[in-house]
Structures are given as C-alpha cells and as structure tokens.
Amino acid sequence: MAALFSRHSLALQTSYSEVKRQASEQPSALIGTPGSVSVREIKDNRFYYRQFYDAEGNKAAAYIGPVGDPAAERAARELRARIEATNAIVKEVRLLAQNGYTRVDARTGAILAAFSNNGLFRGGAVLVGSHAYGVLLNDLGVRAAAYGTEDIDLARGAPLALEHPLAFEAVLAESTVQLSGVPGLDRKAPVTSYKARGKSALRVDLLTPTSGRDVSTRALPELKGHAAALPHLAYLLTKPVESVALGREGAIPVRVPRPEAFVWHKALVSQARGATSEKKNKDVLQACVLFAVLAEDATDSLVDAFRELPGSAAKLVRRSAAAMRARLEASGHTRATELLLALAKRRG
C-alpha cells in the first residue's frame, strides 16, 4: 500500500503562503465570481453595478451607485481593485489545485465567504469536519487521497464575539445558495441543519459542545438559532488556528482546529460510530494521514495534544489505536506506527 501522503514542493508551499497572506488582507470575500464593474443606463440615468455569476451559476448584478456621485465613484474604484486582486488569487489557486491542493466548490466557497464576511470566524466560530481536514492538508504542505464531502460543519465553543446578534439563516442567505432547514425526528425541535434544495447533498450543520454523552440541541442567542450539542467537541475547539479555504472564486479566511487535536478527535469519533458506518473508515483515514505527517514534523505537538485528552475519552482512544496502527503499518509509516504504539501503551 502506498504512503498516505506526499509533500508539495517548496515553490508551491510558498505560493500557498502568499495566497493566505493576500486572503487575510481582503476587506471581505466576494461571493460568486469576481465579475466586473459596469455601467447601466436607466431612464437617462447611469448607474454602477457589479456584474457576476452567483453561487448557483445564475447571472446577478449588485447595485453600487449613480455615476458621478463621489461615494459611488469611490466604491466603484475600490471594487475594481478588489476584483483585480481576487482574479489574481483565483489564478494562483487554480495552479495550486492542479498540483494537488484541496479546493472547495463554488457553493461551499460562497457559504464560507458569507460566514467570514459576517465575522463568524473572527468571533470564534471554527470550521470542522472534512473541509477543515482539507484546509489542514494545505497548511501542512501535503497532498493525500481525495476526500468527498458536501457537509459544511460550523462549530462554536463559547458564544461568538459579534458586534450584534445575527440571524444564522440570514447569513446563509447572503451566500446566494438556496438552503432550507431540515426538520429532525421531532418535528417540534429547533432546526440545527440546513440542506440545499433539490437533489443536492450539500448540507450545513451548526454544532456546539456538550459535557454529557448524549446529543442534544442548544440555543445560540448570538446567531438567533440552534445547534446540535455533541460530546468531545470542546476538545477539538481548543486553541483553533487561522487559515484559508481555497475556492474556485477566491480564497476565504477561516478558522480550523489544530491538526494535532483534529487527529485525536477523529480517532475518538471513529469509535463512537456504528461498526458499519461509512464515515468510520473516513475518520480513521483522516486521523492516520495527519498523524503520519505530524509524527515526522511535530511529534511534541501530537504528544501534548494526546495528554490533553479528557479522561472520559481514554477508552475510545485505545480502541482506535488498533485500526490506526493497521493503516499506518500497511502504508509503511514506521515512525508513526512506533509513536502510536508508545502513546497507546502510555494511555492504557
């Protein structure tokens, strides 16, 4: 079996770092294609508009202001500059994606941009799940087997530090992706998940930690909504890191878990799933890939994160070690295998 990952060249890693810098300096992320600034004439009056395609691929136009108005002239100039900068980022992202960097699709990018533009990530929200895994692969400068997901998982530990409360559904609407709430088994329970209309599998889940073992629902006043409260999630959300999600229409600043915390959380949740769950194997694979990378690059971080695991998770960690060891051994990652065995014995 081939190695679980390969490393990107230094030139590509440098290009990625530059894209991250440029993305972090954007005043906001454009939703949809960058487009262009044009002038429309309506009843002998001329107005600036941004012409673009939205996340669903539909032609769209955003009003800027009347030609000749100082504020509109300034806004049009600034928008042209932003479009030019975004087009430059798109060109770099395309090259990175061609060489194995992970990139989200247009609709996912638009939803993440809506989160970012509304200050959710700055306020403490964390992108988790497989999209966070893709971001971490890019950050670590490695490529691995492709992952397939249309789930966007957004989590928050403490209340978000927002200037004022936001309606989560209104934030989703800004993405231009058509989403509707998914009712649970209890039709009276608050909605915590949103699905794209039609046959699409695209889904957005709002998550928060619980100290207990059972999944429940909790209100998030600052988002005027509700989230699914999950066990062990608090561990994953400790000390998240700032990064960027590469998209087809640009790059979006996000916040993701530390890779070492992601490893152990994936190991935990893999054992909490049913034996036949398709996601169980994906959890183990993602944990193994990042473990193998960090065993070479940041052993101390892996060990420290392991020590930070809550005591209630010890049994699940020991269970996951066997499956992880088999995958690591089969892929020839001797150093990672030895480290995993040493840690599992220490925890046991």
Share of the chain above pLDDT 90, in %: 76
Strand 193-196 with 179-181, pairing: antiparallel
**pLDDT at residue number 348:** 47
Average pLDDT, the chain: 92
- For the segment 258-277, the average pLDDT, to the nearest whole number, is 83
Contact, 125 vs 111, CB < 8 A? no
Give the model confidence (pLDDT) of 182-196 as tens digits.
Answer: 887 667 779 999 999
Share of the chain above pLDDT 70, in %: 96
Give the model confidence (pLDDT) of 121-143 as tens digits.
Answer: 999 999 999 999 999 999 999 99
Strand 203-209 with 151-155, pairing: parallel
Does the pLDDT value for residue 276 go beyond 60? no
Which of 40-54, 168-182, 264-278, 281-295 is predicted least confidently? 264-278
Q: How is residue 47 written in tokens?
A: 């107005």
Which of 113-117, 134-138, 344-348 is predicted least confidently? 344-348
Q: Select the more confidently predicted residue: 185 or 86.
A: 86
Nearest CA to 15 among 246, 184, 179, 229? 246
Give 62's strand partners. Answer: 50
**pLDDT at residue number 274:** 56
Sheet with 59-66: strands ordered across: 36-42, 45-53, 59-66
Q: How is residue 34 written in tokens?
A: 């960058």
Rounded distance between C-alpha atoms, residue 343 and residue 348, angstroms: 8
Give 194's strand partners. Answer: 181, 204
